[in-house]
Structure 1
Amino acid sequence: MPYIDVPEPAIKKNIYYRWWLMRFNSLDADIPGQTFQFPTSTEGVLGYNNAIALTQPMHIDDLKYLRNPAYAYGDWLSVGQTSKGGRFLDNPGDPENWSNSYTQYIAEAAWKSYQIHGGQPGIAANLARYAECDVKGQLAHYDHDDNKLIEYDWGALTGNDADAVSFHWKPGNMDRAESAYQYSGALAAAQAYETIGNTAKATEMRTLATQIKDAIVNVLWNPNRQLFEHRLKSTNEWVPWKEINNYYPFSVGAVPNTATYRQALRLYDDPAQYPIFPFYTANQVDKQAAADAGEPGSNNFSTINSTVQFRLYSSVLRNYPNSWMNATDYKKLLYWNTWAQYVGGNTQWPDANEFWADWNGSSVNYRSWIHHNILGSSNWTVIEDVAGLRPRNDAKVELSPIDIGWSHFTVNNLRYRGADLSVVWDDPADGVVRYPGIPEGYSVYVDGDRVATVGSLVPLTWDPATGDVTTSGTVTHHTAKSGLKTPSQVVQDSPQMVDMLAKAGVDLTADLTNLAAGATVSASHTGSGSNVSGAVDGYPTNEPFWGAGGSANSQDWYELNFGTTRTLNEVRLHFKDSRPANTTYRAPSAYTVQYHNGSSWVNVPDQTKSPAAPRANYNRVQFPAVGAQRIRILATNASGAKTGLTEVKVFNRGGVQPPGNLATSATASASYTSSWESVTAVNDGVDPPSSNDTVNPRWGTWPETGQQWAELTWPSAKTLNKAEVYFFDDDQGIDLPASWKLQYWNGSAYVDVPGAGAYPLARNQYNSVTFNATSTTRLRVLLTGNGTNSVGLLEAKVYGP
C-alpha cells in the first residue's frame, strides 16, 4: 500500500484503518465457476458478507490505490462476469438474499482504476463490454417509457431504504436523479472503447450519454423551485421531498455549468437542509415534512453518505464554482467523517459501523450491529482531492488539490501504470521543513526522481515527454522523464493478473486471433435458456451460454465449423457451473477435443490439459498444431448434471511453444497418503495459493516420518528435463523436507536423474530443478523428512525439452 502522511493524527490513523478495513473485508476464494472466482471486496464480512453491487464502486475507488491492481480489478471483473451480460447484479454467491441491482457507479470507478493501473487492451475491452451492458441493462429494466431515465418505486433500490424520503411523498414509479450513474457509466464505456480503437462503439456510447444527460436536464429540472427533482410518472409531478441523491448529476458532470443550474447548490449553504454532519440521506426539512405527514421512515447516516458527499464536493469545487460550497465545507466533511469512525470520537476505538443513528447534537446514540464495515470509502478523496491526483487517459500527471490549509502532506509510492508515483506538499510559507531532503513546495516524484515542483498548492499538469508544467503557480523545477505510459501501454504480467484475466477470457501473454469468432456452431443438444451462439460471443460471462440441460445423452458435444481449414494448437474452455442457483450444470467428468479428419471424428493427439481434471470455468488444452475445418468438444456429463459452456476460444500460437506440463497426463501414486489427503493432488493442475493451502486438495503423509515419495507414471515413455514442485507445509505436523531429489525408473531400478542442478527448498513457491534429458515411464519425487515432521506436496509439474 502507499504511505500517506497528513498533519492531523486522527485522520492519518483513519487512513490506515481504512486500508485495514479494505483488506479485512476482501475475499480471494478462487472458487472455480461463476461465483467467487475473482478477488472481491465484501460489504461487511461481519454482517452482510457478500459482494453487493451497491457499494462495489466505493470499494474500487479505494482499492485502486493499493499497489496490486488485482484488488480493484477483481471487484469489477467479478461483477462483470456474473451479471449475465446485463445490468450489474450482486454476486450470486448468496442469491437467496442478494440478487438485485442497486444504484451504483461501478463502470465509472472501474474506468478510473484502469486509468491508474492500466494494462493490455484486452482488459479495457472487457471493461467496455461490462459497462455497456450495465448501462443498457439498467435502462432496459428500469426505464419503462424509454426516456433514458431509470424509474424506481422502492427506496431499497437506492441503497438508502427508508432514509430515502422521496418515496414517502406519493407511491409509484419515479424518474430518478440516480440516472446520473448511467451517464457516467456510458462515458466509461465510451472511453474504454476509444482505448481499444472501437470508434463506432465509442460514438454509440457517447451518444447514449448525451441522451441521458439531456433527459436529466429536461425532465428532472424544476424551473419553479430551481432544483433537480425526481418526477412521479403517474402524474408527472416533481417530487418536492429530496435526498442527497438529487445531486448525483452534479457529481458526475451531467449538469451544464450555468448560473441557472448552479442555483440548485444553494441548499448546501443551509445546515437545516443539508448539514455537513450528520451526513444524512434525506433533506432534513423534507424529512420533517414527511414525519409531520405520518411518514417518518428512518433517518440514519453512514459512510455511504459521506462517500457520495465527497464525490459531490470533488466535482462542484472544480466544475461548478458557487458561493454556497467551498473548501472549508469539504474540510469539515473530511474531519467529521473521520470523527464518526471512532466510537465517541475516541481514536483508540475505531469502528466503521454499517450506519449510525440518533444524533443528539453532541454524540451518536446508536451504532449499527455490523462492525468494521465498508459501506463507503474515503482514502481515495485524500489522494484525489487533498493531494489532488486526477486520473486521466494520457501519459501526463495532473494534480488539482482542494486546499484545506494543511501545512504538509505526502502520498508516497502509489503504483501508477507500472511506475512509483509520489506527491509531496510542504508549505514554503511556514518556514518549517517537514520532509528533510525534500524541497519545499508541491512536488511530483516518479520512480524516486523529482520531476516537477511548484511553489504553491495549485493545480498543475506535468508532461513526462517534455517536462513542461502547466500551472498558474511558479514552477521551481521541471524535467522530462521517459517510460511513463498511457494506460493501454502498460503490460500486466504478474501470475495473478494473467490467471485472473484468463478466467475472464483475456489472454495477457499474447495478442492472438480467436479462431472461434465467426465460426458456425452446433451441438448435440441445446437446453432451455441457452443457445449455441452464447459460447462464442467472446466473453465467458455466466450468461449467455450453451448448455445441454435436459439432454438424455451421457456425452454431449459442441462443434465449431471454421468454414475453411485452420491451424490450431490451443483451445480454451469455460465450463458453466450453475450453483448455487440450481444443479443443472457442472463441469463434465471428462472431455476431449476432437477434429474431423474428413471422414470421422478423431481425438486431437497429445492433449495437455490444465488443470488435468475438468473444472468449472477456465480450462486450457494445448497440443501439437493440427489443421482442421471442424472441431468439437466431446464432454462426458458429470453425474446428476449436464455440461455447459460460457465460452470457447481457439488459437494458433505458432512458433516454438513453451513445453506443456506433462504431469497432468500421468497417474500419481505415493509411499503413503494420509486418509484425509489425496495423492492425485500432486498433478491435478491446480496452482496453490501458498504452502499452507486450506482450499485445494493436498498430498500429505502424516503421521509417517522419514523418507517418503510421490510418483508419476505414464503409459508410454516421456522425455523429461525439468520439474517444479510446490511443498506442503502447514506448521501442524507437515513441514518442508530436509532435502529432496528426483529419481526415474531405468527399467529395473530407481536412480537419480542425471545432471540435476541444485534442489531448492522454499515455501510458498514452486521449486524448480533441471536435469539432462531422460526418457522414462516413471518419475519419483523423493522427500527426506527432518526427523520429527511429516512431508507432503501440493503440486508437481514436469516438462520435456
Structure 2
Amino acid sequence: MGGNVTDEELVVEFANVRSATSASNGQYIGQIDFDDSSVTFTVQAPGAGTFPVSVNYANATGATSTHNLTVNGAATPITVSYPRTGTWGSFSGSQAVTVQVPMQAGANTLKFTRGTGYAELDKITANPYFNYQAYPATQNRDDTNCCHWNGPTWPFATSTTLTGLANLLQDYPAQNHVTKQTYNKLLSQFATLQHKNGEPYVAEAANGDTGEWVYDAQDFSEHYNHSSFNDLVLTGLLGVKPQSDNTLALKPLVPDSWNYFALQDMPYHGRTYTILWDRDGTRYGQGSGLQVFQDGTRIHQSAGLGNTTIPVAAPVTPPAATRMENVAANAWNADQEWFKGWDNRTYTQTFPKAFASYTNTGSNGKRCRSADNPRCVEARDAPLKATDGFIRYDAMPDDRWTNAGSTNATDHLGVDFGYQRSVDEVKIYTYDDGQNVRAPQSFDVQYLSGSTWQSVPGQVKTPATPVANKPNEVKFTTVVTSQLRVVFTPAGRQVRRCHRVGVLVPAAGRRADRQPQQRLGAGRRRCVPRFRRRGGAAVG
C-alpha cells in the first residue's frame, strides 16, 4: 500500500494485503468484500474545508463498483464510484478517481467500506501541501513561509545545475571530475522525474530519493513551468550553441552509442534549420554522418559527430507583426483572496474595473499553497478574476467568474476602462466542466453610448456559435466608449456559465487613446498581457 499515507496511518480490517508489481510500494488492499471489511486512513489537514483526495484502484467486475467513504465517523457516507478497469491486482496512474472530502483541522479518518460490487485499493493521495508524510519524514514546520527549501529537488535548481554542467563540458578545458556520461545520466533522471501518473508533468518540488512530487498543490503547482528541460536537450544534449555572428556552433554531448537523432525546423536567425545525425544513413535516407540543412538546403555534412562551427546565411528579419494588447487586463486583480488570507489586507479595484449583473455567491472550496493555515483560503467567483490577465483551464479554475445560481434570463460581464477609448475586438474565453458550468447558447457584445447600452455594430464572431474551453473572438466596427460588456444567454434554464474577457487593441494605439488626466501611475501600467501568440498578445 503506497501513496502519502504511512503504515502507522493505515488500518485494515477483514480485508487482505496483497502484493503486485504495479501497486505502489508493491502492495495493495484486496477482498474488501464483507459488510465489516474496512480500510481506514488518517490524513492531516491544515484547517476546516473541502479537499481533493485521489483514490487509485482496480475493478474487474465489468461494471461500476462503489465504496462508502465515512469521514470522521459521520452518519452519512460519501459514495466513491469506481469505473471498471482491466484485471484484478493490476494498477496504473490512470486508474484513479478524485473525491472532494470535507475535513476538519488536524487529523481526519477516512474509512472505506464496501458499497456495491467490488474494488481493490492501491493508494490514496491527499494534497502534499498539508500531508508531509512523503518528505521529509517529520515536518518541523520551521519555515512559516511555505516549504523546506533544502532537501527536496526543485526543477529550476536542477535545470540551472545541468546548464552549468553542460557549459563546463562544452566551453571549458577538459577535466577528470565529470564527463558527458555524467550529464546524460543526470538528464535522464531529470526526464524520468518530470512525470505523474505516467504522463509528462512538472510541479514545484520532488523527493530527490523517490521522485515523488511533494509540493504539488492542485490547480497551482502544475502552472509553475519552471523547468528548462527543452533547453537542456537542445543546447546541452544536442549541443546547439547560438552565436551572435553568421555561424552556428554544435557541441553535442549525446552518448557515443547513439546511431541517430534529428532536430527538425529549428528557428535560428530568422531561418529554419534541420540537424540530422545518421551514422550509416539508413535511418533518414539523407546520407550518412552529420548533416545540417538551412531552409531545406544542405549546408554541411561530416562523417563524425563532434564540435564544429558552421557558416550560415545572414539573418532574416521578419516583418513586424501588429502586437495586440488586452486593455481589459488588470494584473492587480490576481490573487486578492490569497492576499486577504495572508495578512488580511484589503483591496480597492483600479481601472480597468470589471463588473457583472450577477455573480455566484457560493464557495469553490479551499485553495492551499502551503502547509500553513493562513495560506488556505476560500476560493470564490468574482468579476475581477475574469480580467486578471490569466487563462487557466483547470478542473476548478481559480481565476474565474460564473453566474451560478442566477435566475436572470441573461447576465452580463463587463469592463470599465475609466476613460473614452476606441475598441474593435473582444475575446471571450469560456469554460465548461460538462456539469454545472456550461458555455452560453449565445452572447452579444455591447458598448455604453452616453447612458444607453447598444450592441456594437458589424459583429463578426469566430466561431459563429459559442464553443467551450476555447477563445471566442468578436471583431466589429470601431466604437468609442468607456465601458464594454458581453451579454450571455444561457443554453438552458439553471445552466451555469464561466467566462473570461479580453479587449484587444493595437499596442501602439493605446497611449494615443488615453486622456492625459486619466493616465495610470507607473505601477499600474505594468498591468499588461503576459501571453503571446504569433508575436502578439491575445489574452483575457
* TM category, shorter: 0.3 to 0.5
More helix as a share of residues: 1
TM-score (norm 1): 0.31
More strand as a share of residues: 2
